[in-house]
Amino acid sequence: MARVEHDHSKYNNIRFDTQDESAIMVDILETIPYEYVGKRTEIMMPTSEFTSVCPWSGLPDFAELKIYLIPNEKLIEMKSLKYYLTSYRNVGIYQEHATNRILNDLVACCDPLYMRIEANWNARGGLGTQVVVEYKKEEAQN
């Protein structure tokens, strides 16, 4: 078999431009009134289109998100959620930090009784990551 030689030094200084977290469009998030206040309805909003970038390499990170919500008085308006999630596209943020940031921003937006985010990040180098974060409103923890 022929011996193939590669010069990997050409990759040493490659870095794609990334944005910092100030590019995340938190102000785009909107809510609509929840008409069944007091009724514990679980809502699940899935997307397989979430992407951000690794802050170390600038390479894309892709995740399937499942956002579980038990609303209090407000629902997240879906179009605004889509724009918010899309604003992460070029943001350099670690997977665990992105998942926690999304939870914090959405809780601040809609003040739910309960929220859980499951992020299944695509494997890179044979390793995938699943990050699960949750929030329970203090008075709703019974």
Q: Mind telling me the catalytic residues?
A: 54, 61
DSSP notation for 103-140 = HHHHHHHH--SEEEEEEEEEEETTEEEEEEEEEE-GGG
77 φ, ψ to 5°? -70, 130
**Residue of 103, 59, 108 lying closest to 85 (CA atoms):** 103
SS3 92: strand
